[in-house]
Chain A
Amino acid sequence: MSGTFFKIKRKYLLNAVIISVAIALSVGLLAVGATMLGVKLAEVEFNPVLYLPIGLGSAIVVGAPLILFLIPTDKRLAKKLDENLALNEKVQTMIEFAGDDSSMAAIQRADTEKRLISVPFNTFNLKKWWAYVIAVVLSCAVFCTAFFIPGKEEAPVVPPTEEVFVPTDFQLKQLELLIDYVEEDADFVEVARQAVLAELEVLHEMVKSEEEYTKGEMDTAVLAAITDIHAAVDGVNSYKKIASTMLLSADENVLTIAKTLGSLSIFTVGDGFIKVGESYSDKTGQDLYDGLIVFASYFDIALTGNGVDSSDALLVALKEFPNQVRATAEIIKEDETEEVKQNRISNLFSSNENAVGRILDQISIQNDNRDERDIVVEELLDIFGLTEDDLPTAIKDKLEEENQAKYPEDKEDDKLGDGGMGSGETIYGSNDAVFDPETATHVKYGEIINQWYEEGRLNDGTVPEELKQLYLDYISYLDGNKDKFD
């Protein structure tokens, strides 16, 4: 094929592509613009995702056949060139006789090539290109106009009016009773007590106040108070910090004790010490001495770097213990029977009158702080209609951690359970004993029920009438005697 003809054909092909793209684009934009305009003016619902297939589909439906139509075949292009350049069918002849190797055909081709070359190449530039530009611009204008016309105004979303917190007399009374309890009866250390009271007073002021709070604001305030109460108790309970560094010890016996501290159970901790003491039962003489000395050293080291104030009572009690161990070690170097020595060691690790006893006292105090904290928190949740699920995540995670720490691995059978939702099993009350933490003894349901009843809680008007029966039923279940309070 003639080189010039091929170049011209490429040019026409490019023109065809430009025209097709311009027209397809214009049609696509017009289709979308017109649809958008119609939708907005008619104020109808219309899925905006549909604009894409509308625009794309229109462009393809118009553009694809157009480009197929415009793409020049050799014959079509030859005819076009002959007409436009008045070449009297020279190009068509050249194309049709391209394979003819006769002399005349060759002369004809050469002559045509010469004539084509003489035509300025810009003759084949896209004619009336400005028309296509205008078409695209106009369609863009339609599209932009449709796009920026404001659509149907959506009705403003009116946030639901938040419920106003209207405190009931019951809530106020319960809160005041709680404050009284914390002030007079709760087993907090004084620092913690004052901190807890401060939080409860803030809530009390809010409840009493003339100012209106929304339920949300009240709930936020309660949860904030609970968080602060937890922080206050964490501030006085040092066991976690102490235990965390003790758990880094290389000594097995130190670790044994460290693991029990998280339970805050005097029994668990006490058992831990006893277990350590028993580990020396098979040692004698120098072995025994060395073992005790080494243990004391590790214990000392384990009590360092925990960040707890040196005057902290638990820390002081714990620090006293290794000194007693060393003292006992020195004593058992004396010439005594093995039985005597073992008794001394047994006393060292289990007696309530020495360091271990004081450690356990501090454990008990910190346990009380924690238990009282939980009582206060539970009451607050109850008074303000919240649940444990409403607690901040950090608090929930902490409670979970504390719960797990309560029951180290070798005490699975002592687990009391998490409380919360029951198993669904109906437990009937009995006169079996229930554990009284105040006295660390078991007391019967019946005594507690009587105490509660005698305090007049049921009949002093504190409990709403509609809830009285519920209370009675509950107590009856515990006692197994439904008719007792009729």
Chain B
Amino acid sequence: MENLEKVQKFSQAVSKIKEELKKDVVGQQEIIDNVIIAIVAGGNVLLEGVPGVGKTRLVRSLGKALSLPFSRIQFTPDLMPSDVTGTNIVEKDENGKLNTVFRKGPIFANLVLADEINRATPKTQSAMLEVMQEHKVTVANETYKLEEPFFVLATENPIEQDGTYPLPEAQMDRFMFKLLMKFPKVEELASIVNMTQITMDETAEAVVDGATILEMRELASTVPVIEDVLNYAMHLVANTHPEIENTSDTAKKYIKYGASPRAAQALITCAKVRALLNGNYNVSYEDIDALATPVLRHRIKVNYNAVNDKLTIDDVIALLVKENKKLSK
């Protein structure tokens, strides 16, 4: 069966990617899994973590393992949109004639690391919007399509609040996941130190290519989802809205505004990938529950009740999931 081979290839590819990433990234297994899920699902990831936890290293290593052209954009307040997308420049050709030539920006890669994206101005941030959503760039009325697979991994540094521009909700919604990279454990720290004493460079090798990723993406889209699970996921997203009739008690109490329909799309798409990643051929409730936090974390805003009750966004999402499980029974 052709698909069976593809499934086997999928499993092998994922295993290989993980193996390679392990060489450069210590721990952070959940982050790695979710990043792989996002890539295969065709989504972008927002990574938040303190400096030095390995965000950039992860993306670099990933780029090597996927043998995909990789670029890094360090966002600063003075970064212009054209610095990201590219711009038309005037060039003299060999005949001395002046021509306008489009110089591609760093966004023209398969894998883009948008470092400290929240340091860029809203204007520059909005330039990323079209790119991340539509995988194309429009400059001077010319549209340039980005090569697939295209993946943006943006980072945020939570502790540097000065001189940052919070990402608008519209842009936040373009990220499939928001992942929190935590400070490594002591034993992991020791491994990091030992590893980087040898070399600071990423040692991951190319194990898959872009075509494979696209095949994996296509395969994952065929994973079946039963109606009950689909409804479960839809209720989870709908119950993040306090204004909806018969919504969850958690939403009524702790949420200011809820997630967009993109959250529902992201949940299902990523759940399919996760299922295949774990050797299953169908989406389960467990997949939905496991992806609820990374999918909803950046899409819902809590109100002062949550702050007052000292509940983080993750805590609120956990309550939402718990309530959704009860309602589904």
Question: Which A residues are closer than 8 A to B by beta carbons?
Answer: 79, 88-90, 92-93, 96-97, 100, 102-108, 111
Contacts of A92 in B (CB 8 A): 226, 228
Contacts of B287 in A (CB 8 A): 88
State whether the Cβ of B11 lies closer than 8 Å to any Cβ in chain A: no
Contacts of A107 in B (CB 8 A): 1, 3-4, 7, 281
Contacts of B227 in A (CB 8 A): 96
**Residue of A with least CB distance to B223:** A104
Contact of B280 among A88, A97, A102, A106 (CB under 8 A): A88
Given the known A-B contacts A88-B280, A108-B282, are A103 and B226 also in contact in the complex, defined by CB atoms under 8 Å?
no
Contact of A103 among B222, B229, B280, B284 (CB under 8 A): B222
Contact A100 B224 (CB under 8 A): yes
A111 vs B7: C-alpha distance when bound (angstroms)? 12
**What's the least CB distance linking B290 to chain A, in Å?**
11
**What's the least CB distance linking B55 to chain A, in Å?**
32
State whether the Cβ of B304 lies closer than 8 Å to any Cβ in chain A: no
19 contacts between A and B (CB under 8 A): A79-B228, A88-B284, A88-B286, A89-B284, A89-B285, A93-B226, A93-B281, A93-B282, A96-B224, A100-B224, A103-B1, A103-B4, A103-B222, A104-B219, A105-B224, A106-B1, A107-B3, A107-B7, A108-B223
**What's the least CB distance linking A290 to chain B, in Å?**
120
Contacts of A96 in B (CB 8 A): 224, 226-227
**What's the least CB distance linking B318 to chain A, in Å?**
20
**Residue of A with least CB distance to B222:** A104
Contact A97 B284 (CB under 8 A): no
A336 vs B250: C-alpha distance when bound (angstroms)? 151
Contact of B2 among A90, A100, A103, A108 (CB under 8 A): A103
**Residue of A with least CB distance to B220:** A104
A79 vs B227: C-alpha distance when bound (angstroms)? 12
Q: Which of B206-237 contact A (CB under 8 A)?
A: 219, 222-229
A173 vs B225: C-alpha distance when bound (angstroms)? 117
A161 vs B285: C-alpha distance when bound (angstroms)? 89
**Residue of A with least CB distance to B279:** A111
Contacts of A103 in B (CB 8 A): 1-4, 222
Contact of A97 among B2, B7, B224, B228 (CB under 8 A): B224
Contact of B283 among A89, A105, A106 (CB under 8 A): A89
**What's the least CB distance linking A344 to chain B, in Å?**
129
**Residue of B with least CB distance to A100:** B224
Which DSSP category, helix, strand, loop or mixed, fits chain A's interface? Answer: helix
A213 vs B4: C-alpha distance when bound (angstroms)? 110
A105 vs B223: C-alpha distance when bound (angstroms)? 7
Contact A89 B1 (CB under 8 A): no
Contacts of A90 in B (CB 8 A): 280-282, 284
Contact B3 A104 (CB under 8 A): yes
Interface residues on chain B, size class: 20 to 34
The listed residue with most A CB atoms (<10 A of its CB), out of B227, B282, B286, is B282
**What's the least CB distance linking A473 to chain B, in Å?**
105
A387 vs B206: C-alpha distance when bound (angstroms)? 130
**What's the least CB distance linking A80 to chain B, in Å?**
13
Contact B222 A102 (CB under 8 A): yes
**Residue of A with least CB distance to B272:** A104
4 additional A-B residue pairs with CB within 8 Å, beyond A90-B281, A100-B224, A106-B1: A104-B3, A104-B224, A106-B3, A107-B4
Contacts of B4 in A (CB 8 A): 103, 107
Contact A108 B284 (CB under 8 A): no
Contacts of A93 in B (CB 8 A): 224-226, 281-283
A111 vs B224: C-alpha distance when bound (angstroms)? 13
Contacts of B282 in A (CB 8 A): 88-90, 93, 108
**What's the least CB distance linking B274 to chain A, in Å?**
11
A103 vs B284: C-alpha distance when bound (angstroms)? 19
**What's the least CB distance linking B227 to chain A, in Å?**
7
Contact A89 B223 (CB under 8 A): no
**What's the least CB distance linking A88 to chain B, in Å?**
4
**Residue of B with least CB distance to A108:** B281
**Residue of A with least CB distance to B1:** A103
Q: Which of B226-268 contact A (CB under 8 A)?
A: 226-229
Contacts of A97 in B (CB 8 A): 224, 226
**What's the least CB distance linking B17 to chain A, in Å?**
21
Contact B283 A111 (CB under 8 A): no
Contacts of A104 in B (CB 8 A): 3, 219, 222-224, 281
The listed residue with most A CB atoms (<10 A of its CB), out of B7, B219, B284, B287, is B284
A93 vs B285: C-alpha distance when bound (angstroms)? 12
A102 vs B218: C-alpha distance when bound (angstroms)? 13
Given the known A-B contacts A104-B3, A107-B281, are A89 and B226 also in contact in the complex, defined by CB atoms under 8 Å?
yes
Q: Which of B2-29 contact A (CB under 8 A)?
A: 2-4, 7
The listed residue with most A CB atoms (<10 A of its CB), out of B1, B224, B287, is B224
A96 vs B223: C-alpha distance when bound (angstroms)? 13
Contact A108 B226 (CB under 8 A): no
**What's the least CB distance linking B236 to chain A, in Å?**
15
**Residue of A with least CB distance to B4:** A107
Contacts of B223 in A (CB 8 A): 104, 108
Contacts of B1 in A (CB 8 A): 103, 106-107
A92 vs B227: C-alpha distance when bound (angstroms)? 10
A316 vs B26: C-alpha distance when bound (angstroms)? 146
A93 vs B229: C-alpha distance when bound (angstroms)? 10
Contacts of B7 in A (CB 8 A): 107
**What's the least CB distance linking A133 to chain B, in Å?**
31
Contacts of B224 in A (CB 8 A): 93, 96-97, 100, 104-105, 108
Contacts of B284 in A (CB 8 A): 88-90
Question: Which 8 residue pairs across A and B have the least CB separation, nearest first?
Answer: A103-B3, A88-B284, A93-B282, A108-B281, A104-B222, A89-B284, A96-B226, A97-B224
Given the known A-B contacts A92-B226, A103-B1, are A111 and B285 also in contact in the complex, defined by CB atoms under 8 Å?
no
A100 vs B223: C-alpha distance when bound (angstroms)? 12
A255 vs B229: C-alpha distance when bound (angstroms)? 110
A475 vs B284: C-alpha distance when bound (angstroms)? 119
Contacts of A108 in B (CB 8 A): 223-224, 281-282
**What's the least CB distance linking B284 to chain A, in Å?**
4
Contacts of A88 in B (CB 8 A): 280, 282, 284-287
Contact A111 B3 (CB under 8 A): no
A106 vs B227: C-alpha distance when bound (angstroms)? 18
**Residue of B with least CB distance to A111:** B281
**Residue of A with least CB distance to B287:** A88
